[in-house]
Amino acid sequence: MRDRGTKPLRALTALPLPETIIFDLDGTLVDTAPDLTAALNAVMRSLGRRQVPLTDVRHMVGRGARHLIERAMEATGAPAKQADLDDLVRRFIVHYDANIAETSRPFERAETVTRQLRDRGHKLGICTNKPEALSLKLIGELRLRELFPVILGADSRPYKKPDPRHLFDTIEALGGTPASAVLIGDSETDVKTARAANVPVIVVSFGYTEIPPHDLGADAVIDHFDALEQALNGLARLT
For residue 228, give the nearest of 200, 209, 208 by alpha carbon.
200
Do 141 and 100 meet the contact criterion of CB atoms below 8 Å apart?
Answer: yes
Annotation says 119 is catalytic: no
- If phi > 0 it is left, if psi is from -120 to 50 it is alpha, else beta; for residue 48 that is left
C-beta atoms surrounding 149 within 10 Å? 14
Active site residues: 24
